[in-house]
A and B are shown apart, each in its own frame.
Chain A
């Protein structure tokens, strides 16, 4: 019974919906901190610069790569939803979801190569 109730969770499209939701939630949590960081410029350029030098640590850069992935996966996942809802149904929805994940991984990897 329980197995049948959660069977849909094996679906690539259920996973795509969950990735979209979790990435959106993570970005929503990150945004206030991002805005507060940029707001440091109110106290002067030196204050912002000192934060940016702190963010040079490898662990912070690794977190930034994760954020770039979440940002792009939410973008491409969102575009997929807009296409599904506003254009005629097409086959290959799972392939579109996989493409969204692959493109996001590529962008995040390109960012990794850039910052390390």
Chain B
């Protein structure tokens, strides 16, 4: 892993640490009476705060996970580096697109 990717990996980890703690708290809160779509959407629909929170979370995790996957492919597979880079970028883009789509799905009224 080069220095630039190392810094991105650690910076996104630092950004996500508090987001993960809040997300775990939300999981516990959301499951207090069993999860329901009505409860979830009532909380998130039209909320700029949740859109910003989960939008940032999705972008950070897309970068963080794609760098992590790149490290694993580099160390555990015989794939050439260019192919590993392509896989990592593709995976990061898939996560970002699906994640932002999911945020839009629960936030947009």
Contacts and interface: CB of A to CB of B under 8 A. Distances in A.
Interface residues on A, range: 35 or more
Contacts of A28: 65, 68-69, 91
A64 B94 CA distance: 23
Interface residues on B, range: 35 or more
Nearest to A37: B102
Interface string A77-91: 011011001000000
B94 A32 contact: yes
A45 interface: yes
A38 B105 CA distance: 7
B20 A75 contact: yes
A52 B68 contact: no
Contacts of B65: 24, 27-28, 31
Contact of B24 (A48, A82, A107): A107
Given A32-B95, A81-B13, 4 more contacts: A35-B58, A38-B102, A39-B105, A110-B28
Interface of B: 10, 13-14, 17, 20-21, 24, 27-28, 31-32, 34-38, 40-41, 58, 61, 65, 68-69, 72, 91, 94-95, 98-99, 101-106
